Structures are given as C-alpha cells and as structure tokens.
Amino acid sequence: MKTSVQKLIYVAATIFSFLFIASCASTKISSVWMDQKKSGTSFNDILVIGIAQEEHNRRLFEEQFTSQLNAAGVESEVSYRILPEGTVINRDTVAAAIEGKNIDAIIVTHMVSVEEETVYRQNMDYRPTYGYYNGLYNYYPHVNTYVQQPGYYTTHEVVILETNLYEVKSEELVWSAQSRSFAPESAKEVIDDLVKLVIKDLKEKGLIKSKT
C-alpha cells in the first residue's frame, strides 16, 4: 500500500518529469505585450509581412501564417504578392497595396537575434518509477546513482523572433511578442511552431476572430 507521502512524492516526480519534457519544446513565446485600450477589438482580415534576409524564408513564413489563419476562419493575405521583393515598405506603399481591400490589421515578424545557449545534460535519463519510491532505502540509491553520473555540456543556437500586430486604421501597435526557438533544425520548423503559438495567443486574447 502506498502511504500518502509516497503518493505525493511519486505524483510530484511524475509532474516534474512532464514539465521538464514540455519545457524542452523547440519554440515558446517568452514575452507578450498587449495594448489594453484595444481589449475587445477583433481583426478578421490580416496582411502578413515577414522580414527576412532571404526571400524564400519570407515567402515560407507568410504562406504558412496565412494558411493557418485561413484555416481558423480569419481572412489573410501574403505581402509578397502585393509588396514584391525590392519594394520599400512604408506608409505610402502599404496604403497603395491594400487600397480597396478590407485589411484591418497587419502582422509583421522579424528575427531579433541568434544566441548561443549552453545546457548541462545528465548522461542517463531520469524516469520516476514507483518501485523506487516505496521506501527511502530503495529511493535513495536509485536517485544517487543518477545524480553521481557525470554529465556533459552542449551548446545550441537560440533564434529570437519578434511578432507585432498593428491596426491599419490607427497605425498603432496592438500586440507584440518575442519567441525563442531552441536548437531549431530548419527555418520551416521555427515558422511552423511560431505561427501556431501566435495564432493561439491572438485567439485567446480575442484579437482575431473567424468571419464564419
């Protein structure tokens, strides 16, 4: 029979293990800001602008973002079709490009920096097993073996992106977020993860809504 203390220790260890795995997700939003004066304002026709050194990354980002927005019932448009490569993006060129359209907001994403992050890793994985929690003298040697194993350090790239949502009518910033992508394998991986997180947060804050 598990005692209440043993149950508590086991459950806590299991939750900790899950949180550790979740925290290793490739991309996460690290900070979010929203203009509270715009609370209750929703947008449903969005122009997506990706700012990138390479045109194909811009297109990949814009296409993925519009695809997921459209799937959520929010109309959106890529900028590269109406603001092609080489276009100077300013108030006049954007206004001319969206004239006659129903676009009410613009999303802009760009890379802030690429940093290096060093992580200490154990040589063996720690997996909570109830058998080891059933008594101190089973638990201690099991955990002690794990702790005493020499670990190692790995260095990975962390890509930091900033995404801003602007209202077309007022030209004001409505929402802004920074994201961190840990050791991404490709630009596509970063874009896929980021788009899902951004759309989820915008939905939760009521800033985008379906037209249907």
pLDDT by residue, tens only, the chain of 212 residues:
444 434 433 333 333 333 333 334 488 888 899 999 988 899 999 999 998 888 998 999 999 999 999 998 999 999 999 999 999 989 999 999 999 999 999 999 987 867 666 666 655 565 555 555 555 556 776 666 666 666 656 676 777 889 999 999 999 999 999 988 776 667 778 888 888 999 999 999 999 988 76
Count other C-beta atoms under 10 Å from residue 93's C-beta: 13
Let me know: does 47 contact 103? Beta carbons within 8 Å: yes
How many residues are there in the chain?
A: 212
Residues β-bridged to residue 167: 105
Angle between helices 187-204 and 55-71 (to 10 degrees): 40
Q: How many helices (H) and strands (E) does the chain have?
A: 6, 6
What is the pTM for the complete model shown?
0.70
* Strand blocks (E) in the chain: 27-34, 45-51, 75-78, 105-121, 152-167, 173-182
Q: Which of 202, 174, 187 is nearest to 76 (CA)?
A: 202
Q: Which domains does the chain have, with CATH numbers?
A: 4-204 (3.30.160)
